Structure 1
Amino acid sequence: MTTPAPLNAARPEPERAELLTWVKDQLRAEYGERPLDPRRDPMHELISTILSQRTNWRDEDAAYQELRALGNWDDIIAAPTDAVAHAIRRSNYPESKAPRIQQALIAIRDSPSGYNLDFLRDLPVKDALKWLTDLPGVGIKTASLVLLFNYARPVFPVDTHVHRTTTRMGAIPKMGEQAAHRALLKLLPPDPPFLYELHVNLLRHGQRVCTWHRPKCGACVLRERCDAYAQYGEHVPSWKG
């Protein structure tokens, strides 16, 4: 009987890349193919993703709708910050997010293209990521989501579900989310449809099966190649990210 490698033991890079391709195929069989079609316009994607931080999607959407009830982007900039915080109260940490959203909107408004972000389609990816992450409240996950979802750029967003699942699988060693963006992208093909489908199906899998507490390993289609399952069986510990 082969002894499983310790969790987060370093696998050769080609093996980890092949593992991620296998994961994508298994999740497609489980959840279906996910075509890369923008779900909302770029400004909506950007602001909603800021709101989504530490927030579930229902509260994120409710916060966005109440925010837009204040008016157009210029109206939101001009509104009292307390009013913006109240509008997005369904999102966690509204007092922190409100001024950042207003500051980000000011920076976008004052840029050469204003609220039209379509110039990001043609910028080198590195420059597009820098432009977005220079905005207040925008980190690498938010920037990557906008670039992949709206402009089909070859980047790979890593949220808490993607991070947790790929770490437990052994695709990457344990590391922070920002480092995980670089580590995973290095292993993946520069193919936006591939990256998109893997991202959204990993997110769904992390929400439904590979949960942070008491993951449902018995129902997991990935368990045969999962380092955490090999080590712990159906008693994988809670995620300490």
Structure 2
Amino acid sequence: MPRADRQKPEQAPARSRQDAQSPMDARQAPGARTFNFSGLDQKALEVHRRLLEAYGERAHEARREPMHELISTILSQRTNWRNEDLAYRRMMERFVSWEGVEQADVTALAEAISPSNFAEVKAPNIQRTLRAIREARGEYNIDFLADLPVEEGLRWLLALPGVGLKTATLVLLFCFRKSVLPVDTHVHRVSQRVGLIGPKVMHEAAHRLLLALLPPEPALLYNFHLNLLTHGQKICTFSRPRCSKCVLREVCDYYHDPTTEKY
């Protein structure tokens, strides 16, 4: 397993920016260009620039209406996007509406969303989430989040059953263009290997630390998230990362670590 993917339950002691970004030694990778960044924020912007060149800039437009995004993101937890989409389509074909999903037999709902991992846990959480929204708002609608400050919107979403920080930030960024940064497993892994966060930084802390490195511009945060995700899926994979094809290798701590295998 690549060193940067091992996670422990405790966070590493805080490091200064100077300690966290020591210049790379050219002797570790003969012929490689070295970079001296004035801070991790400059390194983050260089990562962003390189990934934009590799994958392009995408228009920051909502891909789904907010309720769809919320429930689909719950379904996506520990599940690939194909099975997430299949689970959502099966659920709506069978139960038709949010009211139908909320009132369904929980076993039948779990069966419908079974392409999504841990369906037996997600089914009651989805029903409790729908019930909480209906009771709080009088309808199955979360469009009001567009008018709330970021922190208030986060608190409201995080109070829903089965909604964690990744789900909440993704809904706020994707649907309402709020200045937050979702950190999924791919964003987390690439950020650790490149050296934007430490090897012991857990997912929740990574949301705050990475967001602090970037300008609070929703379109930039949106593209940073999507491009790190794409890079983690295609190049910086969990096992056997394709370092020889990586546009980040010149600025990547993992690549310049002589103890790691490169493919």
Give yes or no for TM over 0.5.
Answer: yes
Name 1:83's counterpart in structure 2.
Answer: 108
1:190 pairs with 2:199: no
Name 1:225's counterpart in structure 2.
Answer: 251
Q: Percent identity?
A: 51
Name 1:136's counterpart in structure 2.
Answer: 161
Distance of 1:139 and 1:79 partners within structure 2: 24
Moved over 3 A (4+): none
Going from structure 1 to structure 2, the CA distance change for 1:86 and 1:217 (only over 3 Å counts) comes to: same
Distance of 2:38 and 2:172 partners within structure 1: 26
CA RMSD of aligned residues (A): 1.7
1:153 deviation in Å? 0.2
1:50 pairs with 2:60: no
1:232 deviation in Å? 3.6
Name 2:196's counterpart in structure 1.
Answer: 171
Q: Looking at CA atoms only, which structure, 1 or 2, has the larger radius of gyration?
A: 2
- Contact 2:78–2:117, Cα closer than 8 Å, also in 1: yes
Distance of 2:233 and 2:161 partners within structure 1: 28
SS of the aligned residue for 2:254 comes to: helix
Q: Following superposition of structure 1 onto structure 2, how do residues 87-126 of structure 1 map, counting pairs within 5 Å?
A: 87-112=112-137, 114-126=139-151
SS of the aligned residue for 2:136 comes to: coil
SS of the aligned residue for 2:116 comes to: coil
- Contact 1:46–1:142, Cα closer than 8 Å, also in 2: yes
1:111 deviation in Å? 1.3
1:49-95: CA deviation from partner (whole Å, max 9, x where unpaired) = 00001101000000000111112111111110001100100000000
Distance of 2:177 and 2:154 partners within structure 1: 13
Match of 2:123, as an amino acid?
Answer: A
- Contact 1:228–1:236, Cα closer than 8 Å, also in 2: no
1:60 pairs with 2:84: yes
1:38 deviation in Å? 0.5
Between 227-236 and 82-91, report the one with greater CA deviation: 227-236
- Of the candidates 61, 65, 72, which is equivalent to residue 41 of structure 1? 65
- Contact 1:84–1:98, Cα closer than 8 Å, also in 2: yes
Distance of 2:122 and 2:91 partners within structure 1: 12
Name stretches of at least 5 consecutive residues in structure 2 with no aligned partner.
1-14, 23-36
- Of the candidates 185, 210, 215, which is equivalent to residue 236 of structure 2? 210
Match of 2:82, as an amino acid?
Answer: R
Name 1:11's counterpart in structure 2.
Answer: 21
Distance of 2:144 and 2:38 partners within structure 1: 35
1:122 deviation in Å? 1.2
1:27 pairs with 2:51: yes
- Contact 1:16–1:172, Cα closer than 8 Å, also in 2: no
Distance of 2:75 and 2:154 partners within structure 1: 19
Distance of 2:257 and 2:124 partners within structure 1: 45
Distance of 2:258 and 2:154 partners within structure 1: 38
Match of 2:234, as an amino acid?
Answer: R
Match of 1:173, as an amino acid?
Answer: G
1:234 deviation in Å? 6.7
Match of 2:184, as an amino acid?
Answer: D
1:10 deviation in Å? 1.8
1:161 deviation in Å? 0.3
Q: How many residues align?
A: 230
1:73 pairs with 2:98: yes
Name 2:225's counterpart in structure 1.
Answer: 199
Distance of 1:229 and 1:146 partners within structure 2: 33
Going from structure 1 to structure 2, the CA distance change for 1:60 and 1:199 (only over 3 Å counts) comes to: same
Going from structure 1 to structure 2, the CA distance change for 1:236 and 1:100 (only over 3 Å counts) comes to: farther
SS of the aligned residue for 2:257 comes to: helix
1:233 deviation in Å? 7.5
